[in-house]
Chains A and B, each alone.
Chain A
Amino acid sequence: MSTFLGLPAPPGAPPTAPPGVGHLRGDRPFPEAAADALADPQLRHNLGRATRTIRGKRNAVVAELPDWAELRAAGAAIKDDVLAHLDTYLLQLEEKVTSAGGVVHWARDAAEANAIVLELVLAAGATEVVKVKSMATQETGLNEALAAGGVSAWETDLAELIVQLGDDAPSHILVPAIHRNRAEIREIFLRAMGGVGRAADPGLTDDPAALAEAARLHLRQKFLDAEVAISGANFAIAETGTLGVVESEGNGRMCLTLPRVLITVMGLEKVVPTWQDLEVFLQLLPRSSTGERMNPYTSTWTGVHPGDGPQEFHLVLLDNGRTAVLADPQGRSALRCIRCSACLNVCPVYERAGGHAYGSVYPGPIGAVLSPQLTGVAENPSLPFASSLCGACYDVCPVAIDIPSMLVHLRERVVEDKRAHSRIPTSEQALMSAAKWTMLRPGRWAAALRAGRAGRVLGRRRDRIGALPPPLSAWTSTRDLPRPPEQTFRDWWVSSNGGHAEDGGT
């Protein structure tokens, strides 16, 4: 393997996402941040319950489809085709959106995307915007950029609203407020709604239906008042210029339908070639994501529809490190990701550490491979190590991203990067060559996993292992290693019903 990555990039290499803007980097290394979650039993309980529930639903609806493996193969192939012809499809998309009455903008990075959006909002004369959940705009830190420009952005997904009113960070792609219980949500609503819009009824109870009703009333006013909405997109079809948003609550439909101006911010890689491709992703995504045969609402629109919905439409195409990911042949398939979060829900590390520990808007296994590639491994060096390489993420991924192999590759890049900057072999390098040897043969890895359980002896009274013998000590002295579980994940997976419904495995 000899890529230029990890070493100073040669002229012409696509740049990674610039620092100082957006949310792709944590303040602390993963193991340190994970320690907080490990010490919080309520959070671990909530996460465990959430991931278990969604995992079960997902397995049931995936098992209903006899052709899941074929759909998965098609999904992966379509996404690879997109990457192979990304320039062509983007140009085609631009042409179709434009001829349907939309305006296409290109953004090299987060700062440029934020500036484009702010300018469009101000040009529309608005000081408030409504937003439907969009990972791309969380990635760019759009809300902060808008606030700095005097524009208030209101998140309208129930969970995002809870997170925003609680002045908090999302902990899961799909259920971002899973770290909050109903009593906390009630308290947040009572305390914070009044300051920014319609206040919650003082008699509000913590019944989920009552809490949802409070959110409905609070946000209804915002939807009716809004001149401008901002959304992400689950896909954009090059052939037709059609954009699509998949959602549950209807806040997406509100944003896409009521305001006069719609601005959609989308990562470059979300383009798909043809209308027909929808038939693949509308089967893969809902079943993998919320574990439903179909999510409650999917909206598609093409440019501007006279007399129906927004009469001004802008599409912002965002790079922000994606082309740098594309430049790594062993890492580029991370761009197939359709953000379903299935890999999070099966990940034993995620289940314990929670989303916040990853320090990026992209948590879990996909975050561990995507964030370091978007920022460059030097700025997220601990994330590729935030995994036990158990392989469950690969098995459930609807577009067959081989996350475990990519993690091993990225670990090598981290080591390469450190060597390039220090010249002397680090203990991580020593560890990595040992790890590489172990991972070359599944039998060795399984043996190592079982041996890892011996770590429980070391950490019997605590949840963490403070130190390991050299050369591993150099690693654990600065990074608390989660105590390996009694049962390895592979053992557990096989013994639980989780293993069953996986027909499309590989």
Chain B
Amino acid sequence: MSARDDVLARVRAAQAVEPLPDGPTPRDYRRHDDRRLPELLDLLVERLTDYQATVHRGDDATTLVRSVLGGRSLPSLVVPDGVPDAWRDGIPGGIDLLADDPPLSAVELDGVGGVLTGCRVAIAETGTLVLDGGPGQGRRMLSLVPDYCLVMVTADQVVGSVPQAVAVLDPSRPLTWVSGPSATSDIELNRVEGVHGPRTLDVILLG
């Protein structure tokens, strides 16, 4: 018998010892956060900040990008396909711009200062940004290898709760949920930012 058939036969024999309870899963937990948008935006800022991201808020993307990147003195920045002109226009001169076309190797990305990226959805309650590789985001490695990450969030992307985010996400895409910069507490429980992922996470919230 193949391992597959063998394992499946074992599963069925085990289940047959005594049937397990069967029935619909109770889903009495909160599916929807009823707070109004302004409240959710404030909560998102608070939660992101609590997890060591730096949040900048306003309506003018170009100005915000200029001031945020201006304070970070990056030598170079990778900008994925589909980033709106209003964001791109804010990037200060003097920063080397790289497109991921043709695709950059991991070694090349290791030499890049940072990345500017959009996201698919942001969860206020947990301070989480979800990237799905859609327009303005690019491949997963772009937001991983460089040491600096700037994520752009628009107000219409913000939801209250985890169930609301799961509902809008497409499982067939590669997803990365980001809640603050990379962190570890492995050395005597001291929190240290950035072991492998970007050590600095800036977020611009538009609206």
Contacts and interface: CB of A to CB of B under 8 A. Distances in A.
Nearest to B47: A293
A36 interface: no
A81 B25 contact: yes
B200 interface: no
Given A177-B186, A220-B110, A294-B177, A212 B192 contact: yes
Interface string A298-331: 1111100101110000000101000110111100
A296 B187 contact: no
A341 to B, nearest CB: 13
Given A87-B8, A329-B17, A157 B186 contact: yes
**Most chain-A Cβ atoms within 10 A of its Cβ — which of B17, B26, B167, B187?**
B187
Contact of A224 (B13, B106, B128): B106
Contacts of A220: 110, 196
B189 to A, nearest CB: 6
B114 to A, nearest CB: 15
Contact of B144 (A13, A74, A250): A250
Nearest to B22: A84
Interface size class of A (residues with CB under 8 A): 35 or more
A278 to B, nearest CB: 5
B166 interface: yes
B94 interface: no
A266 interface: no
A329 B127 CA distance: 40
Contacts of B186: 157-159, 162, 175-177
Interface in B153-207: 162-163, 165-167, 171-190, 192, 194-198
B6 interface: yes
Nearest to A250: B197
Interface string B130-166: 0001000001110011000000000000000011011
Interface in A188-206: none
B174 A67 contact: no
Contacts of A83: 15, 20
B13 A327 contact: yes
Contact of A296 (B10, B141, B180): B180
Nearest to B143: A253
Contact of A100 (B6, B11, B172, B194): B172
B118 to A, nearest CB: 16
A349 interface: no
Given A70-B28, A294-B128, A296-B183, A251 B196 contact: yes
Interface string B77-94: 000000000000000000
A84 B192 contact: no
B29 A329 contact: no
Interface in A242-271: 242, 248-251, 253-254, 256-258, 268
Interface stretch (A104-112, A405-413, A466-474): A104-112
A211 B140 contact: no
Contacts of A503: none
Nearest to A160: B186
Interface in A92-109: 100, 105-108
Interface string A220-253: 1001100000000000010010100000111101
Given A258-B141, A294-B127, A216 B179 contact: no
B13 A280 contact: no
Contact of B185 (A175, A250, A256, A302): A175
Contacts of A108: 3, 6-7
**Most chain-A Cβ atoms within 10 A of its Cβ — which of B4, B12, B188, B194?**
B188
Interface string B100-120: 000100110010000000000
B30 A257 contact: no
B49 interface: no
Given A258-B141, A279-B166, A308-B174, A53 B189 contact: yes
Contacts of B103: 307
Contacts of B144: 250, 253-254, 257
**Most chain-A Cβ atoms within 10 A of its Cβ — which of B174, B178, B185?**
B185
A324 B198 CA distance: 43
B174 A74 contact: no
A326 B17 CA distance: 9
A128 B106 CA distance: 18
B9 to A, nearest CB: 8
Given A158-B195, A211-B187, A323-B10, A242 B182 contact: no
Contacts of B177: 282, 294, 297-299
Interface string B118-129: 000001011110
A209 interface: yes
Given A67-B30, A84-B15, A219 B20 contact: no
Nearest to A219: B196
Contact of B26 (A77, A91, A309): A77
B181 A296 contact: yes
A84 B127 CA distance: 35
A375 interface: no
B27 interface: yes
A301 B174 CA distance: 5
Contacts of B2: 106
Contact of B192 (A209, A324, A327): A209
A275 B171 contact: yes
Contacts of A248: 182-185
A309 B31 CA distance: 32
A100 B172 CA distance: 9
Interface string A100-135: 100001111000100000000000000000000000
**Most chain-A Cβ atoms within 10 A of its Cβ — which of B51, B133, B182?**
B182
A38 to B, nearest CB: 21
Nearest to A157: B186
Contacts of B8: 87, 90-91
B21 interface: yes
B18 interface: yes
18 contacts: A78-B25, A80-B20, A84-B20, A112-B3, A158-B195, A249-B184, A249-B196, A250-B144, A253-B176, A279-B162, A293-B126, A294-B126, A296-B178, A297-B176, A297-B178, A305-B173, A317-B7, A323-B11
